[in-house]
């Protein structure tokens, strides 16, 4: 009885350590910024190495899954807020959705640690395999079922800081490999002299991130006196208001009033957020309506309007198809002339469309999540080249999570964008960490591509971001702010290595990870792994 009680306590202790390791790694991300939490990756490697010898793969999976649950419970806690937009109908689903998403995504981490345990060699080079497995499964998380790459390990660093600049070389996935590898070295520090050397190398690599970033940040491109002046509009309209047609006039007047705000210089480009006005674009921008006259007058004849909204395509002979779109328009008398149109490509599963739609309808899922027939996906992102506007790559909300869209659009079209416009509806994320995390992630796309970004949301965070992921003082509006940002279009530096070669460096790192592959470890005498010189503490030798 005593042995069973002690075994149960040890199981709970290991489970708690795994969860805490994941929580610590998540808390290293903005807005918390507890960077020592990155040592959680070293703890994860340590736990995987000491998984139960009787069933090591099952044990390693379980520990990795628990670490993933801790990580994603912190990173994705904001998922409860969308269900409170229509609280009467959907609030009951909030805890269920969070548990399902967190525990489901954590499977990627469990699989990563199980495969690491299966193929890890005997030396400290197994750090490379651990980094490869975790970064590789993070890549899968960003691609399977459209992907959801929220808070990649490489996006731990505050965008615009020195360490974040390495994303211009290797992208967020490559920086994830580097970040995990650096801090996983502390998981082998007890491997004698070689473990200490590995940890020293990790510290040196960390210093290298800071040195490279400092050098890159010290050489920004010169200012362009002819750069267009951009106005970002943030009216602080909560998400609930977009479903109340009685508030339509008030919301439109807020946008019009802010757009007409006096400024030292008339803006050349005005940016409104995603889904700015709670009506179809073809309705309130239709020629002859009072609404289009109000918008055109506010923008003025010398400015261009960029705005997000939904639209319908089709005629009386076909069912209407809805798109989440971005349009670029110029006033033409009392109407707006559409110069360019972009339909959102990467839609939010269960938010903008239902995967396996016919099956979901039979199961009643469509009715539960109130998506209806949802939106249709547009073509893959490509730059838009409207008159009098620098070539621009639109990214709508969720799309800014995905590295590479801008680079791929340039390769497909032969046109490199001069800037990125990200319109979003961050009111879905509620107050607190969600919008701040999204803002940090968005800034990584600017670093990777070496392009400035204009980001507009109804409730914050909006900002003018330079090509290094930085936001100058006075060029951002936080959560709940009402106002505009007037800023010059920042100049783009030369194309970055990532914008040229994409994830090539990341895949080379994955090949380097193979150096950590060795004979499958099996339990030796006394439950030891063959690479361990001394018997391990009994606490690690039970099945979890």
DSSP-assigned letter for residue 543: -
Strands 392-396 and 419-423: parallel
Distance separating alpha carbons of residues 62 and 358, to the nearest angstrom: 34
Helical packing angle, 167-184 and 504-513, nearest 10°: 20
User: Following DSSP, what letter does each residue of 416-448 receive, concatenated?
Assistant: --SEEEEE--GGGG-SSHHHHHHHHHHHHHHHH
Give me the torsion for CA of 287, 305, 485, 419, rounded to 10°: 160
Three-state SS annotation for 52-107: CCCCHHHHHHHHHHHHHHHHHHHHCHHHHHHHHCCHHHHHHHHHHHHHHHHHHHHH
E strands in 466-506: 471-477, 483-488
Nearest to 22 by CA among 66, 77, 76: 66
Distance separating alpha carbons of residues 64 and 44, to the nearest angstrom: 7
Which is the catalytic residue, given 344, 352, 399, 448? Answer: 344
Nearest to 45 by CA among 132, 106, 152: 132
Q: CA gyration radius for the chain?
A: 25
Q: Is 49 exposed, middle or buried (0-12, 13-18, 19+ CB in 10 A)?
A: buried
Which is the catalytic residue, given 138, 397, 449, 479? Answer: 397
Nearest to 409 by CA among 432, 437, 385, 429: 385
The CA-atom distances, in angstroms, between 135 and each of 140, 149, 171, 180 are 9, 11, 12, 8
Burial annotation 387-398 (CB, 10 A radius, 16+ → b, else e):
eebbebbbbbbb
Which is the catalytic residue, given 69, 138, 155, 274? Answer: 274
CA 277, chain centre distance (Å): 25
- Catalytic-residue membership of 274: yes
> Are residues 381 and 106 in contact, defined by beta-carbon separation less than 8 angstroms?
no
Q: Is 238 exposed, middle or buried (0-12, 13-18, 19+ CB in 10 A)?
A: middle
- Phi first, then psi, for residue 469 (nearest 5°) are 80, 10
- Catalytic-residue membership of 344: yes
Segment 408-414 long-range contacts (CB within 8 Å, at least 24 positions apart): 408/380, 408/381, 408/502, 409/380, 409/381, 409/382, 409/383, 410/383, 410/499, 412/380, 412/382, 413/382, 413/383
DSSP-assigned letter for residue 519: S
Where in the sequence numbering do the catalytic residues fall? Answer: 274, 344, 397
């Amino acid at each position: 009885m005593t042995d069973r009680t002690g075994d149960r306590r040890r199981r709970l202790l290991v489970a708690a350590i795994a969860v805490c390791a994941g929580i610590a790694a998540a808390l290293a991300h903005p807005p918390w910024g507890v960077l020592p939490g990155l040592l959680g990756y070293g703890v994860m490697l340590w736990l995987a190495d000491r998984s139960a010898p009787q069933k090591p793969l099952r044990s390693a999976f379980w520990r990795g899954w628990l670490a993933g649950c801790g990580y994603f419970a912190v990173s994705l806690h904001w998922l409860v807020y969308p269900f409170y937009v229509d609280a009467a109908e959907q609030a009951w689903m909030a805890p269920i959705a969070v548990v399902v998403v967190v525990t489901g995504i954590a499977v990627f981490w469990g699989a990563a640690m199980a495969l690491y345990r299966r193929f890890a060699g005997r030396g400290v080079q197994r750090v490379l395999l651990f980094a490869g497995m975790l970064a590789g499964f993070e890549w899968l998380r960003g691609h399977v079922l459209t992907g959801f790459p929220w808070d990649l390990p490489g996006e731990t660093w505050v965008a615009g800081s020195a360490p974040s600049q390495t994303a211009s070389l290797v992208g967020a996935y490559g920086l994830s490999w580097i970040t995990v590898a650096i801090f996983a070295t502390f998981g082998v520090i007890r491997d004698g002299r070689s473990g200490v050397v590995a940890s020293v190398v990790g510290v040196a690599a960390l210093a290298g991130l800071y040195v490279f970033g400092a050098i890159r940040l010290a050489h920004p491109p010169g200012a362009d006196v002819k750069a267009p002046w951009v106005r970002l509009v943030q009216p602080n309209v909560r998400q609930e208001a977009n479903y109340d047609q009685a508030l339509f006039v008030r919301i439109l007047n807020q946008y019009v009033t802010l757009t007409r705000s006096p400024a030292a210089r008339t803006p050349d480009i005005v940016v409104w957020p995603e889904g700015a006005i709670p009506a179809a674009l073809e309705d309130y921008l239709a020629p002859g309506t009072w609404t289009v006259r109000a918008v055109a007058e506010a923008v003025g004849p010398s400015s261009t309007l960029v705005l997000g909204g939904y639209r319908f395509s089709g005629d009386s002979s076909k069912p209407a198809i809805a798109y989440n779109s971005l349009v670029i328009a110029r006033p033409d008398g009392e109407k707006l002339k559409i110069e360019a149109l972009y339909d959102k490509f990467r839609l939010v599963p269960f938010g903008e469309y239902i995967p396996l739609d016919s099956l979901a309808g039979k199961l009643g899922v469509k009715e539960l999540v109130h998506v209806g027939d949802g939106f249709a996906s547009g073509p893959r992102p490509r730059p838009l080249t409207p008159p009098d506007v620098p070539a621009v790559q639109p990214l709508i909300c969720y799309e800014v999570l995905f590295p590479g869209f801008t680079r791929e659009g340039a390769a497909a079209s032969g046109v490199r964008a001069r800037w990125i416009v990200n319109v979003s509806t961050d009111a879905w994320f509620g107050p607190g960490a969600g919008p701040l995390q999204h803002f940090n992630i968005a800034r990584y796309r600017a670093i990777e591509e070496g392009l400035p970004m204009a980001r507009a949301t109804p409730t914050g965070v909006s900002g003018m971001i330079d090509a290094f992921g930085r936001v100058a003082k006075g060029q951002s509006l936080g959560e709940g702010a009402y106002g505009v940002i007037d800023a010059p279009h920042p100049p783009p530096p030369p194309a970055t290595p990532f914008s040229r070669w994409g994830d090539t460096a990341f895949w080379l790192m994955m090949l380097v990870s193979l150096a950590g592959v060795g004979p499958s470890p099996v339990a030796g005498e006394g439950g030891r792994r063959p690479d361990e010189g001394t018997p391990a503490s009994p606490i690690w030798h039970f099945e979890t």
